[in-house]
Structure formats: structure tokens, C-alpha cells
Amino acid sequence: MKDVLLGKFSERTACVGVVGLGYVGLPLAVEFAKAGFRVIGYDVSERVVAQLNEGVSHIQDVPSADVAEQLASGKLEATTDESRLSEMDVALIAVPTPLSKTRDPDMTYVLASSDAIARNCHPGMLVVLESTTYPGTTRELMQPKLESNGLVVGEDIFLAFSPERVDPGNTVWHTKNTPKVVGGITPACTEVAAALYGACLDTVVPVSSSETAELIKLLENTFRAVNIAMVNEMAVICDKLGVNVWEVVEAAATKPFGYMKFLPGPGIGGHCIPLDPHYLAWKMRTLNYKTRFIDLASEINSQMPAIVAEKVSRALNDDRKSVNGSRILVLGVAYKRDIDDARESPALDIIRLLELDGADVVYHDPYVPVIREDDHVRMGVELTDKELERADAVVIVTDHSSVDYQRVLDLATVIVDTRNVTARLHSAKGRIISLSSTPSFAND
């Protein structure tokens, strides 16, 4: 079976299936189609599948032209029909792995995908989990399901984990040129999975096991979460000392060794950094070990929206206004600059906190015109002169490059800048409050 699969990869005759056509799955599907493979994308969303089959991408980093081109070539198609999984030589699983309200891993989508593949599994099939999860998921949860019909992993079918490394909005590093880590249940599984990705991507990094590959992803994002927490705490320290944290960070970054630059902000967002470390923390709790760095970093990062809300409250108080009844304009709700993804964005927490105190909060984001939270839909506003002048305070949460911040300073009365985008601008009107400085006038 291994030799058969390796031959299919080499000749580009394998049918590659991608289960889950979101931020991870769709770029992967398009890349394999570009590499010459026939690709079937499977998703339970009829809306997503219908859009893709019309040549329309719902992912910012994947141009609709690329989807349409691969559809026209016959290399790519999308379906909601589970039975099509039986046509696949490869099933790459890229489904959500959220956390429950108690910060426990929710494996619902991974288990559902594994069950669907198990129902349609056949000898000579490679299954790879790309969804971020805790160490042991691939071996402990997926392998028994795939072997339930008598097939043996490592001989009849092959199973591996390969962590997704998607960075939305990154114009330099993308699916094809980002090194791809691969770890299989057996050495044969690793060999087969590495051969598949090697036929499509620039660099493949094989590791000794699926657990190793699972842990690599968690190390990467825990490293970021801990260092962001450190610099966020430094912002609080600088604020209490009357020192500009941005000046401290930029000057420290001139050291050519032993230092890596991280920037403070209003909190962390996206699907990875706020969530991934908790998979590891949960796993270690089952082994009676407390992950102190992870817990502390989460505590510090999660308090940043409250610190921003307090900054707004104090700024209004200086103008003899209360948060209750004030109109506050939030600029940017995407979790980072120049993308359309608002998942876990600190802006959402800042809005909630201000509204709980009675503020009338509106937002503007050129990439996120609508926010959908449970049954609630919130519409963004146009960034008009009237809207800027009307606001009692403007809070810059996401520093999209398309926004004219000089105009914001020229028209707004109070600006709480969590991203330091106003540092080199001038205004005769606006009062700027930073994360770590006392209120000042922009033209000082």
C-alpha cells in the first residue's frame, strides 16, 4: 500500500481530499490543485460549497481567480456529499478545534470528521490531521476509529499529524513556502505523509511521531503567547513608571542578539494564540501537572481589554464625562491588521466592557463590516467626519493601514491609541492616551 501511494504522489494521480474548507483547508486545497492533483474539498456548509463551485472564495488570502482557475481546469471541486470521501486517496482534516467554556478541548469536529472518514475508508488511504489539538489526539482518538473496520494503520492505511501554520494576511509566508512539519503514527506513515507534502510544498520537516508534531505547534504558539504577555505586562509597568513602552521596545530591538521584538497591544485574538496553549494546559492537568507559564500568560493577556476600557473611562473623566451615555467609536475589530478575521478579537471584549458601563459603542472596520455573535448582529459605521466629531472618545484597537489616522486626530476630541499609530502624527485638537503614557496633546 505504501509503494502504491508513493507512486500516485509522484505521478500526481492521487485524489487529495480536504475536509474543512476554511482558513486552513481552502488554501491547502488550492495549492494541491496547482501542483497537479485532483482535489475534492468536503465541507458541511452548503453556502461555502456553493460559493466555491461558482468560483468565489470566502477566504481573504485565496483570490477568487485562483479558485475559478482550478475549477475550470477540473482539478478542484467542492462537495457536501460524505460519500465522496471514498474517492479520496488522501484526507487532510482541517476543521475547527475550539475550547469549551471551561477551557477544555472540544473535539466534536475532529471526531465527526474521523467518523465520516472511517465510514468511507479504504486500503491505500492517507489521513492527516492538521487541526491544532493536544498531544495524543491522532493516536488516541483517530487511530482506533480508522482501525475499527479491520484496517491496520501503518500497513493498510496511513495516519499522521501535520500542524497548520497559517498566518492570515502575511504576504511573504504562505502555504507553499512555509516549512511543513509531519509526524506519523509509524515510520511508514511519516514517510507517506512527507512524500505527499513534498510533492506540493517547498520544505517538509519530518519528525519522529505524531505526538512530537502535535507538541511543536503548541510550543510555537505558547512561545508567542508568553512573550506577548511579557511585553503587555511591561506596558503596564511603563504606564505606572511614566515611561513610554514603545520607546523601550524599539530601543531594546536594536540589540542584535539575545532579544526578539514583541509589541504590546489591547489583547490577543485569532484562533491560535488565545486558544492553543490551553490544549497543552488541559493535557498536563490530566497528568497532574500545572502549566504555570501558560496560566500566567493567559491571565495577563486576558486583562488587557479591561485595561483599555479603564483608559477610556479615565480619559472621559478628565473631560468631566462618564462612560455611561458617552458615544465611543472603536476603530478596528479584526484581531490584527489588514485581515477580515475577528475571531477572539480583543475589540469584542472592549466593546462589551464599555457597553456594560452604559456606553453607546459603534465601530468601524474596512475589513469587517458586520460582526455576528450568537444571535446578535452588529453593523459597522462609515468613518465620516461627522462620526469622528460626534464621538466622545475614539479607541484605536486594530491599526488597519487603509485608515487615515491623521484625519482621526484632526477631528476626534479624545483618542485612546492601543497600537501607537499616532506617535508620528500631529493634531491641533485630539488628546491622545497611549497604553503606557499620561494624556498628552498630539502636537506637543
Catalytic residues: 272
70-73, long-range: CB < 8 A, 24+ apart: 70/30, 70/33, 70/34, 70/39, 73/33
Relative orientation angle of helices 210-241 and 292-318, to the nearest 10 degrees? 30
Angle at 229 between CA 342 and CA 95, to 5 degrees: 40
Angle at 349 between CA 343 and CA 353, to 5 degrees: 165
User: What's the sign of the alpha-carbon dihedral 191, 193, 195, 198?
Assistant: negative
Q: For residue 153, what are the CA distances in angstroms to 124, 134, 144, 167, 186?
A: 10, 20, 9, 32, 8
Q: Give every CB contact of residue 287 below 8 A, 6+ residues apart in sequence.
A: none
